[in-house]
Amino acid sequence: MVPVSVNLRNWVFNGMPATALGELDWVKSGRSGPQGNCVEIAQLPTGREVAVRNSRHPEGPALIYTTAEIQALIQGIKDGDFDHLL
């Protein structure tokens, strides 16, 4: 577990092991299947970043996005911008 006094922005980076992020509240879609074909998302303690990991490899790399980037992605999904990928 990372001490609260550590400045998280200085050590959080894309591709870091998800386990190095410490205890987070990882969530996944209710539409996820039993085969584990989903991603999990967790807000970082800073409140300014969100981590994404593969649910089948929870110890694997995490991608780190700003909340603004996640908001744009979710809005794009809602708008149908990515429907051609399905």
Kindly give the pairing relationship between strand 16-17 and strand 49-54. Answer: unpaired
Q: Is the pLDDT of residue 4 over 50?
A: no
Q: Higher confidence at residue 1 or residue 8?
A: 8
Residue 34 confidence (pLDDT): 76
Question: Token pair of 59, please?
Answer: 């110890």
What is the per-residue pLDDT across 8-63, written as a single tens digit (0 to 9) for each?
556 889 999 999 999 999 999 888 877 777 899 999 998 999 999 999 899 999 99
Residue with tokens 């092991």: 17
Residue 50 confidence (pLDDT): 96
